[in-house]
Amino acid sequence: MNTNMMHRRVCMLLIALSAMGDHRTVYRTLATLSQKAPHRNIYSVDALLRILEEVGEWLLARKISRRLAELKEGESADAISGLWALAQATEYEVGCAFGHAVECAQARCGDHPKRNALFDQMDFDNEGFRFGPAWDFWGAQSPEAIAAAREGFVARLLHIAGLGDEPEPIAD
């Protein structure tokens, strides 16, 4: 993996934390690294957390870990803000996250006869997710399809930003 890609992951984390209203954590992290580890190569979020712990900033590392976990859950207002910032930062790739969301919904609840309508009637912005009438196709299973789509979208978006593992392949 090239250095630019490695540093991009840390930048994406800082973008998400800032959007989550955690500017102070971002400032403390950058100041700490500048003072206590100026020559360390920080190539991933795991490396960032490990280095913070090594220099005695384990509380800061734990806070970042908690905020990252909150981001992965994607439920709180702060997490929605962080995910929205990541979506804007990766706008050319975010279509993949929407595609994965639709695949996850169909894998969990069955094929939709108008798959494109699912794309057209799903939206994500700084206020969260919205799903239109096409998502009601599954009837009583619609909430499950929507939950699967949300989970799939968040997982893919975090992977695109370098903050999460590759989502599990969708079973046929």
Of 2-11, 35-44, 105-114, which gets the smallest average pLDDT?
Answer: 2-11
Cα distance between residue 71 and residue 78, in whole Å: 8
Token readout for 17 is 């934390």
Of 161, 163, 45, whose CA–CA distance to 94 is shortest? 161
Whether the model clears a pTM of 0.75, i.e. scores above it, the answer is yes
Cα distance between residue 50 and residue 18, in whole Å: 21
Confidence at residue 172, expressed as pLDDT on a 0 to 100 scale: 53
Tens digit of each residue's pLDDT (9 = 90 or more) over 35-88: 998 888 787 788 889 999 999 999 999 999 999 999 999 999 999 999 999 999
Confidence at residue 171, expressed as pLDDT on a 0 to 100 scale: 63
Domain boundaries, the chain: 3-87, 93-160
